Amino acid sequence: MRRNWYPFLFCAVGLAGPPAMAQTSPPAQYALHQPGDAPEPPQEERRSLASVLLELERRFNASIAYRSELVQDKVVDKQDLPVSSLEEALDVLLKGHNLKYKKIKAAVYVLSADERQLREVPKAKEKTFSTPSPESSLRPVTLPLMGGNKVSVPTAAVAVTGTVTEEGSGQGIPGVTVLLKGTTTGTTTNESGKYALNAPQEDGTLVFSSIGYVTREVPIGGRTTLDVALAADVKGLSEVVVVGYGTQRRSDLTGSVSSISEAEIKATPVTSLDQALQGRAAGVQVINSSGAPGGAVSVRVRGTGSINAGSEPLYVVDGFPLYNDNNETNPAGPGIPNGGAQNALASLNPNDIESIEVLKDASATAIYGARGANGVVLITTRRGKAGQSNIDLQVYYGVQQLRRTRPIFNAVEYAGYLVEKDVNASIAPAPNRGYNIDWNFLDSVRTAGTDWQEETFRPAPIQNYQLSFSGGTDKIRYAIGGNYFNQDGIIVNSRFNRYSLRVNLDADLNRWLKVGNNLSVSRTVNHGVVTENEGGVYGRGVVSGVFQTSPLDPVLVTEENNAKLYPTQAVGDYAGYNNPLGIAQGRKNVTGNNRLIGDIYGDVRLLEGLSFRLKVGASVTDSRRNVFFPSTTGAGREARGIASIGANSSINWLVENILSYNRTFGQRHALNAVAVYSLQRNYSESQYGESSNFVNDVLEEYSLGSGLTRTSRSGAYDYAFKSYTGRVNYIFDEKYLVTVTTRMDGSSRFGAGNKYAVFPSAAVAWRLSNESFIRNLRLVSDLKVRASYGFTGNSEIGGYKSLNRFGQVNYVLDRQEAAGIAPTQVANRELQWERTRQFDVGVDLGVLGNRIVVVADYYHKITDNLLLDIDLPNYTGFSRATVNVGALENRGVELAINSQNLTGALTWNTSLNIARNRNKVTKLYNANQLVTGFLGGDVIKSNGGNVGIIKVGYPLGAYFGAIYEGVWRDQQQIEEVGTMPDAKPGTERFRDTNGDGQVDSNDFTIIGNGQPDVVLGVTNTFAYKGVSLSVFMNGMLGYDIFNHAKARSESTNGGENKFRSLLDRWTIDNPDARYPAAGIQPFDGASTRYIERGDYLRVKNITLGYQLPAGLVKGVRNARLYLSGDNLFTFTNYSGFDPEVNSAGVSNTIMGLDMNAYPSVKIYRIGLDLGF
């Protein structure tokens, strides 16, 4: 093992890209293939092969690697080359030159000599060594010096053979250069990744390098067989990234784009797309609303950008735009607890993903116009590659456990609290008050009672099975994958299943026509349980029941007919605290979701550099939820059973016409342009029926008509988009880059006078590393500065808000109730898009041969025309109307660092990203603040008071309430302070913030903020021979959580069970207690008593794997065994189950709310990856 803190002085394969990609001067034995090295055309009708290859690289945004002697002195006649695909152009260009090409990954190709040529080449005059390999393509090479001379290979001491494979997949890598360090001895791998080399030094070191992979140095150590796995260089300059309607080399980007490669996704097992995003892209925040299987998530890119409209990013799956609407997969009526929202992204199989790109600044997102204000997530799935057909199997099985428990009263402590509460209230405990305590019995066992956490939470299995087929020929390529995923919840009767199938095909019908398809079909089934504290007639959720149900109650009782019944309600004053097992097992809540996303496309070559693509696609969803509360549950007892069925169905179709132009002019000008005309339309329907008061529970929800009380509703929703898009990228001399984008969107959602809007952007970049005054600096291998400014929009405002709307209103006519229709919403013809303008400036820096790559950005986003509901005068006949009046801003910095800390036999790579964002409301309508809970009327309360506030000058997600200062210890203190003269000893004490001598609602202030200041993620990956270790951590800093669970379980009023922290409550003997006396009516409002700091750092995943040596088992291309653990350690001071929580889901105004959400889990897995 050796530390290399200097730039590498060699390059294994010539880099097909701009000069900075070479990084440093190469050693004599290799000549780098660079734009500047390509000879000028000798005459008008003939050009060098190297110069034509360079032009193809620029035209198709690709890298073509080759050894310089393969193209030396080769010229081609001037001819028209195919422009529909690079493969077609290479087929024509290389014909007659005894050369062939191999595609080793997306947009990366390797040229090699045709085997027929190798057989015909005469032996070199210099002495070379035969190799022990039986394969004719494994030949030693004589390497040219920069001056044109050749060096003979000295006498061999050790003959070394082996296979170079891709880390993770185990697939052989062709075209890898294998060089004996410090000499000119070297060779390249064949199409299967095999090599053979006569090494003159048995104690020497072999250097393995290839475009798109991290270079490795491996000591020979006297071995004759040496197999090596190369890790993908996911941040390399030659990396091709997906952008809207095309691809670009990372070195040519002018915007802010974060990439997550297939290797990064594979490094740690993930169950859904959002887990692949979390902690891996700077400026991207992922919050789990619930730890339930298939539970909903919220994703924010560079902060929250709206108050009333959506703030989730746009997802584009293989070019098909989708919005993550959790309601689409949650068909339920407003009166039925639905067990928490589900994750609409959970229907996408993460095992199918090849790469994820996150577009963040206006230059990158403006091409999506009215839907790009909140960022864009581009998802590219796997496609087949020409060559060997592969079969891959990935399997894992794991066990989930509750991450932590919370201390609550045992039976003795609970009984003592009840008695003390009633004594303080001057009420004598009696059997008819809900309890009859046998103190002698309790005294004898001390901790008697039911531990509801132990009874309710259980270890639960998780398993995943993925089978994939991929491969093809130069004409037809395929990628087919099937997946089954099952996750049982740690709460009984909760689980999530996913079945998915993906088929991606590509076919080159001829030189000018290419066709293909993308198809994904999935079915998810979610068995949910009600976990949040929902209250009302339907009772409390499972987690609330765990904390609040009396430990004096048994788990089961037996009726006379021996049927087991869960006691679901206490008696007397303490009714309503349900047995959590009764809630979980007694209720039925099943949601099935069928989803199809697919498209077909055709690419036509029109002229040189000009191509046209027509794509037609659709996303079809069908969701159904069945709910039943039997009469044995607390929710269904009084109503004699409650049943409901809800259904949603939608079809979203898309037609895109894409015209692309790619040309290079001379050696210094490169132009890429794209024009798009697209149409998209969505139609959805919903139906809901509910019934109660059944004769019995036998038919459950399958006979809604048999209930005596019935309600039903239905609806339909339709909207459409029409878009015109254009983008031009221009590069001059590989130094100066300009991107201009404009999109005009039309949407049916907006007012008649504002159906269309234009969203322009522009960006510039300067590749300083290609300037002479930087190029010669050995420390700096790449340096680019970039800036962008542009406009994007937000169209996620809901339906029909610009139109007059009518609703059903019942009237009394002639003493009889009659149905009627009346206006419910006033039209707003001027309703328009929420508009975001964003400025971004960034620096991309590579040092030490790109062993350290740094990407830094500063951004400032201003969003105006925010949609707000304003009050209307009574004489209008309407109470409220939606108008464009508000404004807010997000300002922040992002930093991503990727480093190769160690190379050689032991490798160590680190990937770090950290982002800081500041959100601020800058304008509201006719007021400087709005007190709120959930928007839409669902108000979150802490015993009666709102907890949220939207205030000018402050961020969204702020909490509003009183400042808690402890407990009044005695009457003397109350009189001395004087701000709360009616208080009693042992009651809560609050601060007089305005100094007027009394505490009232005028003293309410901002007491916390649910938006984090900092979001970070860091991954360390170690590899030694076949062993690999990955440690992934993520965290958030600088935010608060409103712990609503404490508002119930640390309240000193009420008969439900409490947290053990209330043992430190006020009594005459404990006047300096932390909490008020038992039986004291709590303050009717939010306060800092329930606000906690949520900062955390979590070891999100640790994976230890072993890659079996290639060729160990005949027919097995790849074999990897691994152990993995999720959420193993969390460093936080938060007292709740998990600091990564928001029970408000995707709300823009309430963040960091914990309402006894489904707790997160630890997961222990064992997995196996096989390739054949």
Strand pairing report for 99-105 and 1027-1037: unpaired
Q: What is the rounded distance in angstroms from the CA atom of residue 200 to the CA atom of residue 145?
A: 19
> How far apart are alpha carbons 84 and 59 in whole angstroms?
11
- Per-residue pLDDT for 436 more than 60? no
Residue 974 sits at the vertex; the CA angle it makes with 972 and 977, to the nearest 5 degrees, is: 105
Contact 1012, 1038 (CB under 8 A): yes
Least confident of 612-616, 742-746, 885-889, 1081-1085: 1081-1085
Measured distance CA(439)–CA(411) in Å, rounded? 10
**pLDDT over threshold 70, residue 816:** yes
Summarize the confidence of residues 826-837 as an average pLDDT: 87
Mean pLDDT of the region 1067-1075: 90
Quote the CA–CA distance of 883 and 832 in Å, as a whole number.
Answer: 9
Report residue 154 as tokens: 């000295």
Give the residue with greater pLDDT, 57 vs 1061.
Answer: 1061
Check if the beta carbon of residue 179 is closer than 8 Å to that of residue 207. Answer: yes
Question: What pLDDT band is residue 898 in, cutting at 50, 70 and 90?
Answer: very high
SS3 279: coil
387: β partners? 472
Q: Going by DSSP bridges, is the β-strand pair 46-48/75-77 parallel, antiparallel, or unpaired?
A: antiparallel
CA count, 13 A, side-chain hemisphere, 648: 23
Q: How many CA atoms lie within 13 A of 84 on its CB side?
A: 19
Structure confidence at residue 438 as a pLDDT band (50, 70, 90):
low
CA distances from 78 to 176, 930, 952 (A): 31, 70, 66
- Answer yes or no: are the C-beta atoms of 589 and 494 closer than 8 Å: no
Predicted pLDDT at 501: 96
Confidence class for position 323, pLDDT limits 50, 70, 90? confident
* Rounded average pLDDT over 1016-1026: 93
Q: Do the Cβ atoms of 490 and 484 come closer than 8 Å? A: no
CA-closest candidate to residue 525, choices 460, 597, 590, 621 = 590
Q: Does residue 532 register a pLDDT over 70?
A: no
Mean pLDDT of the residues in the chain: 81
Longest Cα separation, the chain: 115
Give the ranges where 675-798 is alpha helix by DSSP (H).
Answer: 772-775
| 311-315, 616-620, 675-679, 706-710: least confident range | 706-710
pLDDT tens profile 539-582: 467 888 888 888 887 776 554 444 444 454 433 333 345 678 87
Q: Is the pLDDT of residue 840 over 90?
A: yes
Q: Tell me what percent of the residues of the chain surpass a pLDDT of 90.
A: 38
Tell me how far apart the alpha carbons of residues 1000 and 991 are, in angstroms, rounded to a whole number.
10
pLDDT surpasses 50 at 146: no
- Can you give the pTM of this predicted structure? 0.80
Strand duo 756-767 + 780-794: pairing: antiparallel
Distance, in Å, from the CA atom of 632 to the CA atom of 1066, rounded to the nearest integer, reads 39
Give the three-class secondary structure for 551: coil
Mean pLDDT over 103-121 rounds to 61
| H/E run at residue 401 | strand 387-402
pLDDT at 492: 87
Q: What is the mean pLDDT of residues 681-691?
A: 92
Measure the CA–CA gap between 81 and 710, rounded to whole angstroms: 70
Determine the average pLDDT of the residues in 838-862.
94
- Tell me the DSSP string of 713-744: EEEEEEEEEEEEEEEEEEEETTTEEEEEEEEE
Q: Is the pLDDT of residue 1057 over 70?
A: yes
Q: What distance in Å separates the CA atoms of residue 656 and residue 485, rounded to the nearest whole number?
A: 33
The identity of residue 107, as a single letter, is: A
CB contact at 8 A, 1120 and 1168: yes
Q: Which residues contact 123 (CB under 8 A, 6 or more apart)?
A: none
Q: Which residue has the higher pLDDT, 915 or 55?
A: 915
Question: How much is the pLDDT for 524?
Answer: 93
pLDDT score of 257 more than 50: yes
Q: Is the pLDDT of residue 343 over 80?
A: no
- The answer to whether the beta carbons of residues 1127 and 1098 sit under 8 Å apart is yes
Which is more confident, 11 or 156? 156
Point out which residues pair with 808 in neighbouring strands: 821
- Report which secondary-structure segment, H or E, holds 91: helix 86-94
Tokens 């310089």 label which residue? 68
Give the helix/strand (H/E) hosting 553.
none
- Locate 467 and state its tokens: 């089978």
Q: How many CB atoms lie within 10 A of CB 1131?
A: 12
Q: Which structural domains are found in the chain, ordered by start?
A: 19-230 (2.60.40.1120)
Closest CA to 1001 of 1086, 1090, 1088: 1086
Calculate mean pLDDT across residues 617-626.
Answer: 93
Joined together, the tokens standing for residue 912 give 């770090």
Mean pLDDT of 375-381: 93
Q: Work out the pLDDT band at 808, boundaries 50, 70, 90.
A: confident
Q: Give dist(CA 635, CA 146) in Å, integer.
A: 83
Decide which of 1098 and 1154 is more confident.
1098
What SS3 state is found at 413?
helix
The CA R_g of the chain, rounded to the nearest whole Å, is: 33
Q: Give the three-class secondary structure for 491.
A: strand
pLDDT of residue 1096: 96
pLDDT(456) > 50: yes
Residue 151 is predicted with a pLDDT of: 38
Bin 88: left if φ > 0, else alpha if -120 < ψ < 50, else beta: alpha
Check residue 895 and give its pLDDT. Answer: 96
- The strand order across the sheet containing 1091-1093 reads 1091-1093, 1040-1043, 1153-1154
In whole angstroms, what is the distance from residue 100 CA to residue 705 CA? 71
Give DSSP secondary structure letters for 289-334: S--STTB-EEEEESS---SSS--SPEEEETTEEEE--GGGG----T
Residue 600 CB-half CA count within 13 A: 2
Q: Which helix (H) or strand (E) holds 897?
A: strand 880-902
**DSSP state letter for 963:** P
For residue 270, name the pLDDT band (cuts at 50, 70, 90).
Answer: confident
Predicted confidence (pLDDT) at residue 673 exceeds the cutoff of 80: yes
Query: What band does 746 get if pLDDT is binned at 50, 70 and 90?
Result: very high
Query: Could you tell me the two tokens for 451?
Result: 């531990």
- Helix (H) / strand (E) containing 363: helix 362-365
pLDDT at 78: 62
Q: Which two tokens stand for residue 793?
A: 């929009």
Do residues 115 and 131 make contact, with C-beta atoms less than 8 angstroms apart? no
Q: How confident is the model at residue 358 (pLDDT cuts 50, 70, 90)?
A: very high
CA distance linking residue 211 with residue 199, whole number of Å: 23
Residue 905: CB atoms within 10 A of its CB come to: 17
